[in-house]
Structure 1
């Protein structure tokens, strides 16, 4: 061998030709030239590089030449060669040997055929063309690269992850199929027995499988000794097609190719034996039944050919096509083994169909399981038409709910391939926050037009049609929330510190096998991964918001300032603002009001709040309408930005503004009634000397008491039953919240509850209008009472002044206190004042009547409301049934509501 190292490749190739043929250099000139052309060719492979089939072909050629000993020696040498790893392209070497053993001088024969195939089979590089890019041109060799574990010494075929495709090692060919090849059995020829994994169940020995199939009542008789052909039992008519010829046609039909006698009928959409062909009825019927496999094959193949070239079909769709291609590949392997049983050459090299052990009835038995699998694939293709992404995965998953273990295993394998891209999307999303869904296959959708301030609410959403059926809605919501939290931390909080417990993306499902194992227990590892990422990410996000952005403190500040929870601050602010707010709204200046706000903060306990909170507190003036005073346009404001604006959105701040205006107006009524009561208490002593006013003052006291009672009950309802109860519920939910969405939902529920129970929603518009009318009556009553007291105090002052002058003249001058003229003027003025008292009494009576009528209507509306808390408010407002006695509708409403009062109350 050392001398050969220095020889050129041509010399070595010529020596190899001589060794193989056993002839001299001159005699192998043709083979040498052909070998040089083949080795120098550069074509992509169009047939499968199947070492097993080539070795079987070589052994057949040796057996045909009656060289059984050489065949046995070749088999032993090939087995030893397979155990060595130094030779990587054994198939190419064996194919070269087979091609060189032919005589190229034959006009038409196997040499030209194998030469062309061999020239096409040499790859351009170390990697062959993907198995789905080309279609087998010959049944002798199916297409697609076999895995390294598939060899002549291992009787496995197909996908290692599915036991359906696996046999228990190499097995001998069934004797029934070798009956016509008795001389070959000594050489150990076994092409069929070790290649029928696509048709046999797991751990099914071929001989036992044949016995099982033979026991099926709907199939052909058992595969025992060769069944005599139809020609042996029935004389064949002239021109009648033989069964071997039909077998040959059927094998072509199996792969969707029209045969000589069986062709596709476009009208009937099926393969049919030509009506002009003479064939017995039994063979025609059996051929028709077998031809269904060709139609099923075409259906699946057409779908894969069209969809494989469609990029918009997405990664999930391409995985589905790859799974179908893989199934078709195993189907082609079976067909190539079946075809090798019937292909025999005559002396001229022309392929003919002769008597063989493979009949239509045996084909019917052997193709039973492949037919079931193809039917499943065809039905799956029909069901998946027009679907992509997660919707396609759901369609495949729905077909796995069957009691047939083989069909379930097939669908489960396809599902593992289809769901692999989805799981990769999912893991990149929940671990890195990355979403590269070019073809919109994932169930999480992203809107690139949404700005950062609306990232949490609008940027990401669930695409419900793409949620696979094996992922629950709760899992999908958690998946959405995890990735959204990561992006919120990165883009809004500017925090790129990964949560310490989150698993890196490298631990995701890297292969379809991992995906299959994960999908087999969705309540176990899959749920565990999602839960772990969800809890770690959400907890970290809430910690960042509470620690760095004071989320909970801002929430409490809303309650204290915008919902008037800081009582001392609100009362002092009203006292300071009263002179300003009494003026017309057009004369107010915001900087003056801001200064008063800062004074109120420094003078109350509000000064001890966080500086971050106080700097956000501000004054806001609403839109001014004609006739408005400062009370009507004043409002407190709270500035929010950054991450906390996700919770306190613009809509939420609008709700807070509405609630503040309502509470501020109610607080003003309380403040006004306090001033009214103080006026009555202070002026009661002063006006004792004017007994003519006693009736009017008593009327004022009664009306003021009614108003005070009403406002106190409303304040109690708003403060305790609405604000405090709602706030307590909010705070409990916030403390128990596991993610930001739960905090936002609790906050929104709190605001909705406050708005609806404070009569600020659309359904309570009539109640709110009545309440505002009552507030207006209180303001009007204050004006009327102030006018009354002003007139009375002026009259009192004039009377005191007259008495003082009278007493002064009597004591100092010694004269009469008044003259007749002065006394007459005084009496006239007193009479004029007394004449105004009935007018005052009438005005108060009208005011009282109007106020009471509004309150009565308000009570009726309360009683007809569906909210029971409003029913109880009406009971408190009319605790002594004063309004019930005046209003018939109220009596009816009270009676009706008492009838349906809950038994527990």
Structure 2
């Protein structure tokens, strides 16, 4: 790095040129007499030195001390003293030229632009100095030379300061430093530096204009305040969230954080339209393009706001009209949230013999075939769903030798670009959790419907028994116990399903549709979708604070599964006409005790926490209206 010195301090060797006391003749080094230089010749050589050349007739640039030195044999004391001051212009010009010849510009467009502006200013300076040298009438005097020095030295000094202060920075940091250095009290210097500043930051402005009009960032040296991630593919569900990022350290002082975020949003919009939505022929409004090309950092804010409104509208129109966002949301509600009850009743009936085994023994292809068959069966009765989107639906099986197929079954959706930026991996994980709890309750509801029909069959079988009166009475008592437990389980499951449908799915859907109608950008749609998932997660008891209640509910659903199995066993025993009536009776008693324990724990937790979460009031009201379970436990409920 070049060495810099303070040009306002006199050179140490200059003392050699001072006259000795008692001797009026000018002297140089000790023992030498200096020859006076003609004033015109001295002025001409000083002006030549101001060009920053290495050597003139009387002056030579010393690379070691980084200053000019005057020949020892010439110059009066006055000329040498004048030289000490006047040589600063030559030194500054030489230093500026030395910096401009360095290779730093290879790493920065803004550095290249700044140095181009500096070269232009240096060229104008050289032309001015050349005009001084060529002046004949009237010829340059020493006073004119001093005036010229006072005219050009401040400009050279500030240009050199700019180069020195910005030598190791680039991008927004360089623009910010330039902005501070431009603030000068002198009107002439301010005008000069403003011109340099505008030229230097022009690449940054060009990047901003290119990004908001084309959605492209041409920034090989990482100088722009918006960065593009090349590892994010156009079809990735992380395109919207991760393709572009704001670099606060690259923000120039003339660009606020809010404006930079708007620039990034417009860039994302344009790139999203052309790459994710595959609308290669789409173009920005020509009026906005024209305004952007003529804008500066002081005026680009209005252009960016217009571009933001224009591109937001274009993005929303595409995802709603071309990619049918509302229809996809209906699919999600119908299948991932088990909203299409008819389809799932049909599917559960068909999958019953398949998913009753351990999950690792279930062939996914068979499950998939049953699902496709059920989808085809509901097509004639589907009015509010786009059947062309059924191809998005997929089923999955988690292979685990410790769980049965019902607990391993999942329905998911593969949403393609660009809508996968709304239904991304994170959202789909939430939908998986929601599906599991919804599907468990739905399956319990369907199973209890079958169990109710099974109870009727049991009554008919018992009526045809020809066993002794004592045995018939015992079987009737077992059937009554089963019937009573079935009624209690039906009450719980039906009210739980009613809560999930009415208070969770329906309310959240209405809130989502209302929010979507008010959205003006894709960011707002994503925010509305996230709020929708948060509402569903909390009200479906999937929130961490609701873990104990969720565990109680899942335990009751497990009791439902055991109850259905006990009903099948009871039917089999009665059809054979023999069996251990006491063992099956004790099984029903165990299930009843387990149910009472779980429901008591659940209701206790609901009563304790319903003040913390308002929505728990609705669940508590549905499950225990008029203290239903309290009366049941104490024998006061006469519904059965």
Taking structure 2 as the reference length, the TM-score comes to 0.73
For the 8 Å contact 1:584–1:628, the answer to whether it is kept is: yes
Shift in CA distance, 385/880, structure 1 to aligned 2, threshold 3 Å? farther
User: Structure 2: where are the runs of 5+ without partners?
Assistant: 1-7, 9-18, 28-32, 464-469, 631-640
Pick the aligned partner of 1:519 from 296, 299, 311: 296
Give CA deviations for 1:73-101 in whole Å, capped at 9, x if unaligned: xxxxxxxxxxxxxxxxxxxxxxxxxxxxx
- Compared with structure 1, are the counterparts of its residues 875 and 261 closer, same or farther at alpha carbon in structure 2 (3 Å cutoff)? farther
Change over 3 Å in CA distance of 1:734–1:283 after alignment to 2: farther
1:333 aligned to 2:115? Answer: no
Give the alignment partner of residue 306 of structure 1, picking from 102, 106, 129: 102
Q: Is the 8 A contact 2:478 2:581 kept in 1?
A: no
Of 278, 303, 325, the match for 1:551: 325
Q: Give how far 1:320 is off.
A: 1.0
SS in 2 for 1:379: helix
Task: From 202, 205, 213, give the equivalent of 1:420.
Answer: 202
For 2:590 and 2:435, how far apart are their aligned partners in 1? 36
Of 104, 115, 123, which residue of structure 2 is paired with 1:321?
115
Q: Secondary structure at the match of 2:235?
A: helix
- What's 2:559 paired with? 780
Pick one of 88, 99, 109 that aligns with 1:292: 88
1:612 aligns with 2:396: no
Shift in alpha-carbon separation, 1:778–1:363, aligned structure 2, 3 A: same
Separation in 1, partners of 2:507, 2:194: 53
How far residue 664 of structure 1 moved from its aligned partner, in angstroms, is 1.1
Q: 1:616 to 1:778 in 2, by over 3 A?
A: closer
Shift of the alpha carbon at 1:255? 3.3
Looking at structure 2, the residues matched to 683 and 401 of structure 1 have their Cα atoms a distance apart, in angstroms, of: 95
Question: For the Cα contact (< 8 Å) 2:232–2:239, is it kept in 1?
Answer: no
Deviation at 1:380, TM superposition (A): 1.6
2:256 aligned partner = 472
Looking at structure 1, the residues matched to 498 and 189 of structure 2 have their Cα atoms a distance apart, in angstroms, of 70
Q: 1:256, 1:500 → 2: CA distance?
A: 49
**Aligned-pair distance for 1:324?**
0.8
Partner of 2:400: 625
Task: Describe the shift of the 1:237–1:399 C-alpha distance in structure 2 as closer, same or farther (beyond 3 A).
Answer: closer
- 2:192 is aligned to 410
* Per-residue deviation, residues 840-866 of structure 1 (Å, max 9, x unmatched): 646643664466557767988x689xx
> Counterparts of 1:238-249 in structure 2 under 5 Å?
239=33, 244=39
SS class of match (1:453): coil
Does the residue aligned with 1:306 lie in a helix, a strand or coil?
A: coil
Instruction: Give runs of aligned pairs for residues 843-854 of structure 1, distance below 5 A.
Output: 844-845=592-593, 848-849=596-597, 852=600
Matched-pair contact (CA < 8 Å) for 2:313–2:521: yes
Distance 1:595 1:520 in 2: 58
In the other structure, the counterpart of 1:537 is 311
More off after superposition, 464-473 vs 253-262: 253-262
SS at match of 1:635: strand
Q: Paired residue for 1:731?
A: 513
Deviation at 1:418, TM superposition (A): 1.9
1:499–1:536 Cα contact (<8 Å) kept: no
Instruction: Quickly say closer, same or farther: Cα 1:325–1:278, change in 2 above 3 A.
Output: closer
Kindly indicate whether the alpha-carbon contact (under 8 Å) linking 1:428 and 1:505 is maintained by their aligned counterparts in 2.
Answer: no
Over the residues paired in the alignment, what is the CA RMSD in angstroms? 5.0
The whole-number CA distance in structure 2 between the counterparts of 1:461 and 1:261 is 58
Instruction: Specify the SS of the correspondent of 2:201.
Output: helix
1:397 is aligned to 2:145:
no
Structure 2 contact 34–72 (Cα < 8 Å) conserved: no
Measured after TM superposition, the shift of residue 597 of structure 1 is: 1.6
Which of the numbers 505, 519, 525 marks the counterpart of 1:743?
A: 525
How far, CA to CA, are the matches of 2:586 and 2:106 in structure 1?
Answer: 93
User: Does the alignment pair 1:358 with 2:134?
Assistant: no
Task: State the shift of 1:431 in Å.
Answer: 3.3
Q: Relative to structure 1, is the Cα distance of residues 289 and 566 closer, same or farther in structure 2, using a 3 angstrom cutoff?
A: farther
The corresponding residue for 2:336 is 562
The residue aligned with 1:118 is none
Give the TM-score normalised by the residue count of structure 1.
0.54
Q: Distance in 1 between matches of 2:523 and 2:594?
A: 54
Deviation at 1:645, TM superposition (A): 3.6
Alignment partner for residue 409 of structure 2, among 634, 639, 656? 634
Match of 2:467 in 1: none
Q: Secondary structure at the match of 1:399?
A: helix
Deviation at 1:292, TM superposition (A): 3.5
Specify whether residues 385 and 720 from structure 1 end up closer, same or farther in structure 2 by C-alpha distance, changes over 3 A only.
farther
Secondary structure of 1:469's counterpart equals coil
Whether the 8 Å CA contact 1:795–1:833 is kept in 2: the answer is no
Contact 1:434-1:483 within 8 A present in 2 as well:
yes
Maintained 8 Å contact 2:330/2:385: no
Kept after mapping to 2: 8 A contact 1:576/1:596: no
- Measure the CA separation in 2 of the matches of 1:592 and 1:632: 19
**CA deviation digits over 1:674-710, x for unaligned, max 9?**
6667778997998998489879967995897489558
Q: Which residue of 2 aligns with 1:594?
A: 371
Q: Is the 8 A contact 1:300 1:381 kept in 2?
A: yes
1:567: Cα distance to partner?
Answer: 4.0
Please say if residues 248 and 342 of structure 1, whose CA atoms lie closer than 8 Å, have aligned partners that are also in contact.
no
Please, which moves more after superposition, 651-660 or 551-560? 651-660
Please show how residues 425-824 of structure 1 align to structure 2 within 5 Å.
Answer: 425-433=207-215, 435-448=217-230, 450-454=232-236, 456-457=239-240, 459-462=243-246, 464-499=248-283, 501-503=285-287, 509=293, 518-519=295-296, 521-522=298-299, 526-575=300-349, 577-578=351-352, 580-585=354-359, 586-587=361-362, 589-598=366-375, 601-602=378-379, 605-606=381-382, 609-618=385-394, 620-672=395-447, 690=473, 701=484, 705=488, 708-709=491-492, 712=495, 716=499, 718-719=500-501, 722-751=504-533, 754-755=536-537, 758=540, 760=542, 764=544, 767-768=546-547, 771-772=550-551, 774-780=553-559, 782-784=561-563, 787=566
Which residue, out of 384, 392, 410, partners 2:166? 384
**Aligned partners of 1:410 and 1:393: how far apart in 2?**
16
Say if 1:444 and 1:460, in contact at 8 Å, map to a contact too: yes
Shift of the 506–405 alpha-carbon distance from structure 1 to 2, 3 Å rule, reads same
Q: Which SS does the other structure have where 1:628 is aligned?
A: coil
| C-alpha spacing 1:565/1:373, structure 2 compared with 1 (3 Å) | farther
Question: How many residues are paired up?
Answer: 588
Question: What SS class does the counterpart of residue 411 from structure 2 fall into?
Answer: strand
Deviations 1:706-761 (A, max 9, x none): 89558845862x54565445444443443333343443444345445544664557
- Structure possessing the higher relative contact order (Cα contacts under 8 Å, 6 or more residues apart): 2
What is the distance in 2 between the residues matched to 1:242 and 1:301? 31
